[in-house]
């Protein structure tokens, strides 16, 4: 396999994702989220096209059974600004549709709306990533992304167009975005999101440096919690379990109130999950039988 890979986040013990493949139409990502976990890829924040991406996808698809789950994208965003011009993601979707794949889109890029016509004709769901609705915080956390309001509008448009839609409310930062939990869940559920997947911020060497630069006072308060009282799992520093549980319980409770499903991502807290999948792939209405 060349550009479609089995999804395997660092062979992590905490991952609860269903078996799936991952396809990143672009290499790298220009959204520059300070918490990004994919920055081990060289020149990551300088996104670039993949040569002959459509032919390579086509070739890889010969080796995968129809109805396989393919996630776009896990290490980059399929709807980067450059995709408006190049449309590589749209071209990949056309081939995935021909091969009757099930597709889960994960994005912060609102021009996914352009591809609603194709998504409607295939087994697909979209999870819109939202980690704050406050512009001043978004500017620090995810400087080059569309606003929270634009992403809420996207959730609403997708729901109105009958594209199953969930939200990645992820990651949640104690003392920065934690207080937004009730507002985010209320807003996205009222716009038509059917599922939320959340996790707390896990610090890695470079993401912690970026966080510290953006929020020096909060970083000082959290440092001991992450690096002394918390735990290192799969190369990430986690907050103490009880603290993570308390934060994510708040999201779970709000989801219950608004009657949408909830799951955690790489937290080791399965008791909080109320859905068949963590990543939102259960939202996809399968028209095709899986051959494996």
Q: Which stretch binds ligand SF4 (CB under 6 A): 30-38, 146-154, 192-200, 224-232?
A: 30-38
Number of residues that bind ligand SF4 (CB under 6 A): 10
Do 38 and 78 touch, CB atoms closer than 8 A? no
* Residue 262 φ then ψ, to 5°: -140, 145
Looking at beta carbons only, is 41 or 100 nearer to ligand SF4? 41
Instruction: Please say whether the beta carbons of 288 and 67 come within 8 A.
Output: yes
Rule CB under 6 A: choose which of 4, 29, 131, 165 binds ligand SF4. 29
Closest CB 134 distance from ligand SF4, rounded Å: 17
What does the buried/exposed string (b/e) look like for 97-136 if buried means 16 or more CB atoms within 10 Å of the residue's CB? bebbbbbbbbbbbbbbbebbebbeebbbbbbbbbbbbbee
Footprint of ligand SF4 on 107-136 (CB under 6 A): 108
Show the binding pattern over residues 79-108: x = contacts ligand SF4 (CB under 6 A), - = does not: -----------------------------x
In sequence order, what are the residues at sequence separation of 6 or more whose Cβ sits closer than 8 angstroms to the Cβ of residue 272? 245, 248, 249, 252, 262, 263, 264
Name which of 99 and 108 has its Cβ closer to ligand SF4.
Answer: 108
Instruction: List the interface residues with ligand SF4, window 176-195 (CB under 6 A).
Output: none
Query: Is 36 near ligand SF4 (CB under 6 A)?
Result: yes
- Pick the closer one to ligand SF4 by CB: 64 or 207: 207
Decide: is 38 part of the binding site for ligand SF4 (CB under 6 A): yes
Cβ at position 89, least distance to ligand SF4 in Å: 14
Handedness of CA 116, 118, 121, 122 (dihedral sign): negative
Name which of 77 and 194 has its Cβ closer to ligand SF4: 77
Q: In terms of Cα–Cα distance, which of 86, 123, 91, 83 is closest to 107?
A: 83
| Residue 243 burial (C-beta neighbours within 10 Å; 0-12, 13-18, 19+) | middle
Residue 42 or 242: the one with the smaller Cβ distance to ligand SF4 is 42
Backbone φ and ψ for 51, nearest 5 degrees, come out as -65, 135
DSSP assignment letter at 17? P
- How far apart CA 177 and CA 133 sit, in angstroms, is 9
Query: Which positions from 42 to 81 touch ligand SF4 by CB under 6 A, shown as an x/- string?
Result: ---------------------------------xxx----
Q: Applying CB under 6 A, which part among 11-19, 32-40, 198-206, 267-275 lies near ligand SF4?
A: 32-40
Nearer to ligand SF4, 29 or 239 (CB): 29
Q: How far apart are CA 274 and CA 178, in angstroms?
A: 21
If the CB atoms of residues 34 and 239 are measured against ligand SF4, the closer one turns out to be 34
Binding site for ligand SF4 (CB under 6 A): 29, 31-33, 36, 38, 75-77, 108
């Amino acid at each position: 396999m060349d550009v479609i890979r089995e999804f395997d986040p660092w062979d992590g013990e905490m991952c609860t994702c269903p078996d799936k493949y991952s396809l990143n139409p672009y290499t790298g990502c220009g959204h520059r989220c300070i918490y990004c976990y994919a920055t081990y890829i060289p020149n990551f924040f300088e996104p670039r096209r993949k040569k002959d991406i459509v032919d390579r996808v086509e070739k890889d698809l010969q080796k995968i059974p129809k109805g396989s789950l393919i996630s776009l994208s896990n290490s980059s965003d399929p709807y980067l600004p450059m995709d408006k011009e190049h449309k590589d993601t749209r071209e990949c979707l056309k081939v995935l549709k021909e091969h009757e794949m099930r597709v889960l889109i994960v994005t912060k890029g609102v021009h996914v709306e352009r591809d609603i016509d194709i998504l409607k004709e295939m087994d697909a769901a979209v999870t819109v990533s939202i980690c704050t609705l406050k512009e001043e915080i978004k500017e620090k956390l995810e400087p080059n992304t569309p606003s929270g309001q634009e992403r809420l509008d996207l959730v609403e448009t997708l729901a109105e167009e009958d594209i199953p839609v969930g939200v990645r409310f992820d990651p949640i930062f104690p003392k920065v975005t934690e207080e937004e939990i009730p507002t985010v869940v209320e807003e996205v559920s009222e716009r038509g999101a059917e599922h939320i997947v959340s996790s707390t911020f896990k610090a890695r060497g470079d993401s912690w440096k970026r966080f510290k630069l953006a929020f020096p006072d909060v970083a000082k308060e959290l440092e001991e919690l992450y690096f002394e009282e918390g735990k290192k799992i799969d190369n990430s520093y986690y907050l103490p379990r009880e603290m993570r549980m308390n934060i994510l319980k708040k999201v779970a409770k709000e989801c219950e109130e608004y009657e949408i499903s909830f799951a955690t991502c790489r937290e080791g807290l399965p008791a909080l999950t109320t859905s068949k999948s963590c990543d939102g792939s259960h939202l996809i209405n399968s028209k095709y039988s899986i051959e494996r």
